[in-house]
Amino acid sequence: MTLLQKSPGAVRSKTGFWPNNRATIIGVSILTLVVIILPFTATSTMMNIAVFSMIFALPAIGLSLLMGLAGQVSLGQAAFFAIGAYTHAILLQKFEMPGVVAAVGGVVAAMLAALLVGLPMLRLRGHYLALATLGLGFIVMIAVREWEFTGRTTGIYGFGRPEVFGIPIDNNGLFFWYVAPFVIVGLVLALNLTRSRAGRALSSVNDSELAAESLGVNTYALRVKVFTLSAGLAGLGGVFYAYQVQIVSPQMAEFNVSVELLLMVVLGGLGSVWGAIAGAFIVELLSEGLRDLIPAIIPGATGEVQLIGYGLVLILVILLLPGGLYQAVRTVWAAIRRRTAARRVAAAALVPDGTADAGAGDAPTRAFGGVPGEPAAPHGAAAVDEEGVPNVPGVSTPLAEGEAILEVRGLTKRYGGVVAVDDVSFTVPAGRIMGLIGPNGAGKTTCFNMITGAITPTSGTVTFLGEEVQGRKPHVGAVRGLTRTFQNLQVFSSTDVVGNVYMGRYREGRAGIIRGMLGLQGREQYRNEEIARDLLDTMRLGDVAELAAGDLPFGRQRMMEVCRALASEPALLLLDEPMAGLSGKEREMLASLLRALRDAGLTIVLVEHDVAQVLALADTVAVLDDGVLIAYGEPEAVRNDPAVIVAYLGTDADEAKHELEELEEHA
């Protein structure tokens, strides 16, 4: 049955799924060591650059998270930087608050400003956040320049450097040690976040927003949180900046500071946290170098001459090395590893590999879902089932068989003058399979999309488990147990197969951004990963768990989507043309899987083109024609309904009947 056999055997290696923790520990240790040693060895110019790169690394990490996770960019990161600095300076200078309180105030102020901009802007996709933040940069600059309270063009000055344990932080070396722990902690938190439940959800959103939302991901809320977090880091950077230069002035919010921060992230590698720190150092070096170099080449050049380098490097990196330094390092590293691995294989050719077949025997026997009392699916059988039918994972249903799980009332969708779906009403009983069929353009998919929340109905209600979900985003229904698959596959291509199915577990997870950053969700994540792997084994996809999802053949991608949807333990599973593009054998397999799932208690609605399949599979069938529900009932009744025959196969009822019978024989 397998097209892609992974050799040797299905070893459960964690390295593909979780980023390498050991590498992180080594990296952080090296960084810490460098930070400790640097002040003893560096020249004063170098030390100055180092301090500023540490300060700018904080907003850069924030921007990197925003770009990598939320897929959005802030062109006004300097505005948050300045807001943090100004608030801090004002609290210190005018209100004589203790340093810690002032610093926290600075960070909070930056986060509040981000909420103010982010709440409206992040609802919209596209360029809005970028240009709004660009505008915010101007606003902040104008505001502090025009306001007496913020000292107008002179800014605020005259506050001292902080003291730590009675030691005044009065030179660059000490200041470097003062900032560095914050950067290192920020780095670790940010790395944790990218791997957390929230981080993985956000990168899935970048692959397919609709699929992620159909699994319960509240995209908007997560984006707002990441944006606020990113502004908080910028604010923290601003606080340190204020201490270092001991004056805050309107120039801090200037556009070239934002460009500088953006360049750090782009150069380091979009979305790479390590890259942001490396980028901060390189850009600070570049800036210093250009400021010396350009006036030497072009006499009389003054002002922000380093911008020419910024512009050039930005363009060149995007054109030539879109992944930045991170990508470059990874490519080189992979080449080195390939070479050493090849050498090792050659050396070990005669020694049998003891770990190769450990996987199958070690497979956990816990039931899918891990809910006590749920029937356990037999796992050992997965590999030896002769009929090629996957084993059925356990399903839970909140209702008794036959009770209404989904009610559609008067559902209507108009596009301008065209009525795509007209006043459609039906009820889906729990524990049954309902088929939604109809000729091309009958409004099946529109209807389906209105039920799942992908589009908003013009009128009518969709009630799922007693709650109206029409017009809400897909995640609203999804968190209540309504999930779907897609006719045009929506695979999370940036992760592997198990990563896709793991995302199906999103609904079952609880860890938010803060727990994610603190790394306090390991147990939950490992449990969900195990469940995802068990499910893959059950569905006979265990052998491809580590492959990139986009590399699977079409039929197995479809099975993976079904698997991903099942992983969320839905009460109602909606399948959009699940048979399309599958081979005959795959269709049979899917049909028996669906039957088995139904028998286990799952409610299924499928939109399907293949009439014969639906009539053979479904317990109830709804037929749409031209947006109108023309028949609804048991397959036998629908099959003989004259209206259906006419709608489907033209006006000649006899011929139609004949063709239907033929179709049936094929089924």
The amino acid at 523: R
Site for another protein in 453-512 (CB under 8 A): 454, 486-488, 490
One of 310, 326, 426, 632 touching another protein (CB under 8 A): 310
Q: Which range of residues in 230-238, 301-309, 403-411, 433-441 is near another protein by CB under 8 A? A: 301-309
Mask: binding to another protein, 180-219, rule CB under 8 A, as x and -? ----------------------------xxx---------
Asked if residues 532 and 506 have their Cβ atoms less than 8 Å apart, the reply is no
Q: How far is the CB of 465 from another protein (least distance, A)?
A: 23
Q: How far is the CB of 69 from another protein (least distance, A)?
A: 12
Q: Which residues contact residue 194 at a Cβ distance below 8 angstroms, ignoring those fewer than 6 apart?
A: 19, 65, 68, 69, 203, 271, 273
The amino acid at 578: P
Mask: binding to another protein, 50-69, rule CB under 8 A, as x and -? -----------------x--
Nearer to another protein, 128 or 177 (CB): 128
Q: Which residues contact residue 633 at a Cβ distance below 8 angstroms, ignoring those fewer than 6 apart?
A: 620, 621, 641
Q: Which range of residues in 14-22, 173-181, 228-236, 300-308 is near another protein by CB under 8 A? A: 300-308
Query: Is residue 262 a contact residue for another protein (CB under 8 A)?
Result: yes
Per-residue HEC secondary structure of 624-635 comes to: EECCEEEEEECH
Q: How far is the CB of 211 from another protein (least distance, A)?
A: 9
Q: How far apart are CA 56 and CA 154, in angstroms?
A: 22
Site for another protein in 125-144 (CB under 8 A): 125-128, 130-132, 134-136, 138-139, 142-143
Q: How far is the CB of 67 from another protein (least distance, A)?
A: 7
Query: Looking at beta carbons, which pairs linking 626-631 to residues 24 or more positions away fall under 8 Å?
Result: 626/422, 626/441, 626/442, 626/443, 627/413, 627/419, 627/420, 627/421, 627/422, 627/424, 627/442, 627/443, 627/446, 628/422, 628/423, 628/424, 629/423, 629/424, 629/425, 629/426
Mask: binding to another protein, 555-584, rule CB under 8 A, as x and -? ---------------------x--------
Nearer to another protein, 128 or 157 (CB): 128
Asked if residues 405 and 574 have their Cβ atoms less than 8 Å apart, the reply is no
3-class DSSP state for residue 596? helix
DSSP 576: E
Nearer to another protein, 318 or 356 (CB): 318
Query: Is residue 302 a contact residue for another protein (CB under 8 A)?
Result: yes
Query: Is residue 376 a contact residue for another protein (CB under 8 A)?
Result: no
Query: Is residue 294 a contact residue for another protein (CB under 8 A)?
Result: yes
One of 1, 298, 643, 653 touching another protein (CB under 8 A): 298
Q: Rounded to 10 degrees, what is the CA torsion of 636, 641, 646, 649?
A: 0
Q: How far is the CB of 73 from another protein (least distance, A)?
A: 6
Q: How far is the CB of 262 from another protein (least distance, A)?
A: 7
The secondary structure element, H or E, covering residue 541 is none
Q: How far apart are CA 557 and CA 539, in angstroms?
A: 12
Strands 603-607 and 433-437: parallel
Start-to-end CA distance of the chain, whole Å, equals 21
Query: Is residue 314 a contact residue for another protein (CB under 8 A)?
Result: yes
The secondary structure element, H or E, covering residue 536 is helix 522-538
Query: Is residue 220 a contact residue for another protein (CB under 8 A)?
Result: no
Q: How far apart are CA 44 and CA 46, in angstroms?
A: 5
Query: Is residue 418 a contact residue for another protein (CB under 8 A)?
Result: no
The site for another protein (CB under 8 A) is made up of 67, 71-73, 75, 117, 120-121, 123-128, 130-132, 134-136, 138-139, 142-143, 145-146, 208-210, 255-256, 259, 262, 266, 270, 294, 298, 300-305, 307-308, 310-312, 314-315, 318-319, 322, 445, 449, 454, 486-488, 490, 576
